[in-house]
A and B are shown apart, each in its own frame.
Chain A
Amino acid sequence: MELIKPSFGLIFWMLIGFGILFFILAKFAWPFITKGIASRNQKIADQLEEAAKIHEEMQSLNKKHEEMLAQAKAERDSILAEARKVSEELYEKTKQKAAAESQAIIEDAKKTIYYEKMKAITDAKNDIAKFSIDIAQKIMNEELTDHSKQEKIIEKWFEECHFN
């Protein structure tokens, strides 16, 4: 029966010992341990949250980046297409313009040539006329000195002239 008979000494020491142990641990150990664990948990949770946030941010950034890239690509394509169109247009226009201009130049040249030709012809006509008159004058001056000759000439002219 000794087994279930609590002894006074052990009760006494147990009360003191457990009391001291509780006091020491409650004052110097548990607060630090529980706070340490809680603070570490908090830190890990915070960091995880932050990581998730950063990940999300990264994803959104990535998306944005991709969007921007696509947009830029599209823009570039459109710009290129436009440029091509513009250049083609310009080329076409220039070509047309050049053709027209060349046509105009040719026309112009033709005209000029015509005028020049006409002028040259006119000049030549005039010169010939002048020369003819001069010659005629000279001849006449020569011929008219001799009266017979004058008559001959007149006769000849009359012969030559076909009146109709």
Chain B
Amino acid sequence: MSYKSIRRIITVFFCALLTVFACQNAFAQTDTVTAGNSAEAISPDTYVTEKAEGFDAGPFIIEHVIDSYGWHICGSGEKSVTIPLPVILFDEGRPVCFLSNKLHHGEAAYNGYAMGWGDNKGRIVKLEGDYADFTGHLEEGAVYPNHVCKWDISITKNVCALLISLVLICCIFLTVAKRYKQHPDEAPSGLQAFVEPVVVFIQDEVITPSLGKNSNKYAPYLLTLFFFIFLNNMLGIIPIFPGGANLTGNIAVTGILALITFFVTTFSSGKEYWKDIFNTPGVPWWLKFPLPIMPLVETIGIFTKPFVLMVRLFANITAGHIITLAFVSLIFIFGQMNPAIGWAVSPVSVFFYIFMGLMELLVAFIQAFVFTLLSAMYIGMAIGEEHEEKASVVEA
């Protein structure tokens, strides 16, 4: 696969997305009309909520960092441009599928499904009772009886970003692999020359030192892990579609990656590993008997390692995004006081935004590297060979 064919695939992909997006906007308008009509027939109990006037940085930042059912491109309120994504639910065993723009950012219900509020904010809920099949506008601040749809496998923004990144990674590495197949033993060129140093770096600096002769067995997983995290970190920094989804800053994603590492570690563990945990060598006996303090600590350690992996990646990426968003928010916060102050602050904000962006570029690589390195080390430790060498490696 050459550059040309990748470009063609990407072009086709974007065209398809834009087409879907354009069609959905047209449908959305008709839906609004029906929603407006049927809303009059409903009179739910209302209660007073304080609606934040103007710009509120907190929700704004969180909104950009968390997952959502549509892919917001630009604008706000009624004029916002959002790519609608399919909502797929299993409600009491019944598959339900519709596009997220039917919910109008939580202002409307579709066949009894609506965006949750309160504790269920950000999840799809099924309205109960009179509203079980309700389609239409929901009153602001109204209380509707509902339950959360547990089995929600919607293609959310993050899932969409995940799929895009999967296609991208496959394209890149299949192209590179093809080049190796077709031009063996030749100097690397193009995409290959771009990817090869990183692959060699990961192999020589991470995989081989940690795993020794088991490298070949675990290299595919660790390389996949590294490039998945790295590419998604990079895509996360890009502020516009198809980047901008905070995929590696999502606890579910990092959790799954950590979980896979945990399982790989556990299943490749040797006798030494368990011996070290339950009968740690080089520790005074009174730490093991009668109170098994060390075994307890070590056992907890089995789980804290992947947990820390999960939290580290999640926190680093999310924190970076929050800080950059905070710098952007500063402009509007000051702009609300006085437009002139807003303008005055903006160069400073932009400067810090760029600075943070560069920082995030660094973090994108470092976190991918650290996640891979620690995974490799944990697996290496579990296998239990060349045990002494690993003690010197510093945890980042």
Contacts and interface: CB of A to CB of B under 8 A. Distances in A.
B184 A29 contact: no
B173 interface: yes
B221 A26 contact: yes
Contact of B176 (A2, A21, A33, A43): A33
B223 A21 contact: no
B181 interface: yes
Interface stretch (B12-20, B97-105, B147-155): B147-155
Interface stretch (B131-139, B159-167, B362-370): B159-167
Interface in A4-27: 4-15, 17-18, 20-22, 24-26
A49 to B, nearest CB: 15
B234 to A, nearest CB: 16
A21 B224 contact: yes
A113 B62 CA distance: 148
A9 B154 contact: yes
Given A15-B256, A21-B166, A29-B174, A3 B251 contact: yes
A32 B252 contact: no
B122 A37 contact: no
Interface in B166-215: 166, 169-170, 173-174, 176-178, 180-181, 184-186, 195-196, 199-200, 203
A33 to B, nearest CB: 5
Given A14-B162, A17-B163, A18-B260, A3 B65 contact: yes
B200 A37 contact: yes
Contacts of B196: 33, 37
Interface of A is mostly: helix
Contacts of B156: 7, 9-10
B58 to A, nearest CB: 12
A29 B255 contact: no
Contacts of B154: 9
B121 interface: yes
Contacts of A21: 166, 169-170, 224, 228
Given A3-B251, A21-B224, A39-B185, A13 B176 contact: no
Contact of A12 (B123, B153, B178, B257): B153
Contacts of B88: 9
19 contacts: A2-B122, A4-B251, A6-B252, A6-B255, A10-B253, A13-B153, A13-B155, A15-B256, A17-B159, A21-B224, A25-B224, A26-B220, A29-B177, A30-B173, A33-B177, A33-B199, A34-B219, A37-B200, A37-B203
Interface of A: 2-15, 17-18, 20-22, 24-26, 28-37, 39-40, 43
